[in-house]
Amino acid sequence: MNADFINTMALTFKLAALTTALLLPLGIALGYALAFSKMRFKMVLEAVVSMPLVLPPSVLGFYFLIFFSPNSSFGAFLLEQFDLRLVFSFEGLVLASMLFSLPFMVHPIQSGFAALPSNLREASFTLGKGTFATLWHVLLPSIRPALLTGIVISFAHTVGEFGVVLMMGGNIPNETRVASIAIYDEVEALNYDLANQYALTLFLISFAILLFVYGINRRFLKAEL
């Protein structure tokens, strides 16, 4: 394995791990709100969260590129006030990956909350526990399979991103060049051996991740029975 391959794979998994870690608390908050809240515009929030599932990645990537570009008002504000340039940077990749992988974290957690008995939360409130204590000590331990599914699927989805990371991050070695971009580059260069090395690594890791999730969830299910 050459140094470029190792650096690219390391950057890919760094991006996936950081994206997943940042998405987890956000996914819990949104999943809780969508499962239990009776707010008026909940359907709008659900539609916004689910948008990455139906929009082509290149569409999202294009609008991220336009919105965060230093040529836009918001991008110029970030650059002038915080010296933060999100386009063609690792930080921009993290933000774009979070937005693109959001439904893969939120939906399993939302479904986990929604599947809980309605009296579980009410009983906790009756015993004097507040919303956060109920969430932390009662609800989250009860949806461990859903949490694990959200974490693992979000990680795996981020590892395999292409359109969004290409539009937002470009192809800068050791900064934004992740494995999916490297595969595209190597195929264009007719370097099929190295492209296969990247692709096979992602294939095996993705398979192992899914096998792990199904195995753990099956173990949780047996324990509950």
Q: Phi and psi for 125 in degrees, rounded to 5?
A: -65, -40
163-198: per-residue pLDDT in tens?
888 888 888 888 889 999 999 999 999 999 999 999
First and final C-alpha spacing in the chain: 46
CB 6 within 8 A of CB 179: no
Tell me which architecture the domain covering 3-224 has in CATH: Orthogonal Bundle (1.10)
Pairwise CA distance, residues 49 & 30, whole Å = 9
Pairwise CA distance, residues 19 & 132, whole Å = 24
- Contacts of 158 by beta carbon, 8 Å cutoff, 6+ apart: 15, 16, 19, 20, 97, 100, 101
pLDDT of residue 225: 55
Q: Phi and psi for 166 in degrees, rounded to 5?
A: -70, -45
Percent of the chain with pLDDT over 90: 38
Mean pLDDT confidence for 34-41 = 85
Percent of the chain with pLDDT over 70: 97
In this prediction, residue 125 has a pLDDT band, given cuts at 50, 70 and 90, of confident
Extract the tokens encoding 159. Answer: 């590892």
83-112: per-residue pLDDT in tens?
888 889 999 999 999 999 999 999 999 999
Q: Phi and psi for 55 in degrees, rounded to 5?
A: -85, 140
Higher pLDDT: 26 or 142? It is 26
